[in-house]
Amino acid sequence: MQRDALVAFDGVIKRFGSFVAVQKLDFEIRKGEFLAIMGSSGCGKTTTLRMLAGLEAPSEGAIRLAGKPINDLPTWKRDTPMVWQSLALFPFLNVIENVEFALKMRGLGKAERRQRAEKWLDRMQIFEFASRNVAQLSGGQRQRVALARSLVVEPEILLLDEPLSALDAALKVRMQTVLKTLQRETGITFVYVTHSQSEAFSMADRVIIMSRGKIEQIGTPQEIYRTPKTRFVADFLGSSNIFTGDVVHADAATIGLSTPSGTFRLNAAAGGAVKTGQQATITVLDTKPALSLDRPAESRNMLRAKVIGEEFVGATATIYLETAGGQEIRVQKSHAELSDLPVDIGQELYVSWSQDDGHLVSAA
């Protein structure tokens, strides 16, 4: 393990009968970081979290916490509390009794339990509800109780399994701020499982993207967003236009890729080495292309496409276009950038971008 690593997964495999749910995980979780694990349903993210919590045992490999193997350590001895998707609050206990529960199980005296529980209720801004039944709370208030119950034991690491999934959109955003602020202030390592890109990218220091039981990419949100390593990651994020074709030119400076939508150039340093004749895939973030009625300069990559739809989200709009070959193109712009441009359904426009804006994802 590296010096700043708190958890290490070393060749961890998990099988359920003949089904391989997790395929040979090798990664580390750094002390004091906010790590998000994301992917679609069935990708293995929750199984990975459950193995760390001690709720599932690895079929092969080792999990180490603070340098010590924990494969055979029971859940209650791991100091890895979890905030569940369902929250799992005790309905027969009031708010402060829920928060005190873990301390009671650890044998702390009544006075100390009450003092620590009150401190966390105050910190979570729910002290006024201390004697209230949890069924009388709102979704956001119950979320705060669940967090207080896990954090009152002041663990080194906190596991969170899609804890915001049941909240409405506005409350999710507020709770994301609460979670990130808590993590920064306490220095506790957070491991957060979600299928939501917005949750992972807004809170996490690093993100793991999983598919079919394996890790596709680990990196900061910025690294993954700007430079996806695989076609799956680019597709999963949905923020890039993807072009696959044959490499028709490759030298130290530029790469040329012939695709059904056109021949495009990108900088040779934009992802890796390729050779003429190989098939390759490139991505262009949907925020990079320009739209115009007039033909762009020859120095830019370009294609012609027809507007097929428009989606407004706050201050931006996403324009959906289709090439003559049937490929869908996405371009995201501010309303100001689109104010003088006709984007009616059926309107043909040029879509263009600099060769600096392409990223080489893979080469066969």
The DSSP secondary structure of 272-327, one letter per residue, reads: ----TT-EEEEEEETTS-EEESSPPPTTSEEEEEEEEEEEEETTEEEEEEEETTS-
Does domain 231-363 bear CATH number 2.40.50.100? yes
Q: For residue 24, which phi and psi values (nearest 5 degrees)?
A: 40, 75
Cβ-contact 104, 149 below 8 angstroms:
no
Strands 348-353 and 290-292: antiparallel
Radius of gyration in angstroms for the set of CA atoms belonging to the chain, rounded to a whole number: 25
Q: Provide the pLDDT confidence category of residue 2 given band limits of 50, 70 and 90.
A: low
The two tokens of residue 326 are 């049937």
Q: Tokens in use for 153?
A: 């034991």
Q: Residue range 309-323: average pLDDT? A: 92
Please name the residue ranges forming H helices in the chain: 45-53, 95-105, 110-123, 139-151, 169-186, 197-203, 221-226, 231-237, 335-338
Question: Can you give the pLDDT at residue 86?
Answer: 76
The region, left, alpha or beta by phi > 0 then psi within -120 to 50, assigned to residue 316 is beta
How do the residues of the chain divide into helix, strand and coil, expressed in percent and rounded to 5?
30, 40, 35
Q: Which tokens is 103 given?
A: 């301390």
Q: How many residues does the chain have?
A: 364
Confidence of residue 340 (pLDDT cuts 50, 70, 90): confident
Residue of higher predicted confidence among 82 and 345: 345
Give the rounded percent of residues in the chain with a pLDDT score beyond 90: 69
What pLDDT is attached to residue 39? Answer: 92
Provide the pLDDT for residue 15. Answer: 97
Mean pLDDT of 261-277: 83
Contact in structure between 304 and 324 (CB atoms under 8 Å): yes
Angle of the 139-151 helix axis to the 169-186 helix axis, nearest 10: 20
> Taking residues 244-273, what's their average pLDDT?
88
Token pair 């705060």 is found at 144
Sign of CA dihedral 288, 291, 297, 301: positive
| pLDDT-based confidence at residue 246 (cuts at 50, 70, 90) | very high
How does the average pLDDT of the chain come out, rounded? 91
State pLDDT tens for residues 16-49.
Answer: 999 999 999 999 999 999 999 999 889 999 999 9
Looking at residue 140, what is its pLDDT? 85
What dotted CATH number matches 5-226?
Answer: 3.40.50.300
What pLDDT does residue 58 have?
A: 97
Q: Give the pairing of strands 34-38 and 189-194.
A: parallel
358-363 and 279-285 as β-strands: parallel, antiparallel, unpaired?
antiparallel
Q: What's the pLDDT score for residue 273? A: 74
* Residue 97 binned pLDDT confidence (cut-offs 50, 70, 90): very high
| Average pLDDT rounded to a whole number, residues 62-84 | 90
State yes or no: pLDDT of 364 exceeds 70.
no
Chain segment 200-225, per-residue pLDDT in tens: 999 999 999 999 999 999 999 999 99
The two structure tokens encoding residue 298: 């020859």
Return the minimum-mean-pLDDT range out of 169-173, 180-184, 341-345: 169-173
Q: Which of 105, 83, 87, 41 is nearest to 190 (CA)?
A: 83
CA 310 to CA 290: how far, in whole Å? 15
- pLDDT value for 65: 94
DSSP string, 243-276: EEEEEEEE-SSEEEEEETTEEEEEETTTT----T
* pLDDT of the residue at 313: 83
The predicted pLDDT at position 253 comes to 87
Looking at the predicted structure, is the pLDDT value of residue 271 above 60? Answer: no
Tell me what pLDDT residue 264 has.
96
pLDDT at 1 over 80: no
Average pLDDT over residues 313-317: 87
Domain ranges in the chain are 5-226, 231-363
pLDDT of 168:
81
User: How confident is the model at residue 172, as a pLDDT?
Assistant: 86
Q: Is the pTM of this model over 0.85?
A: yes
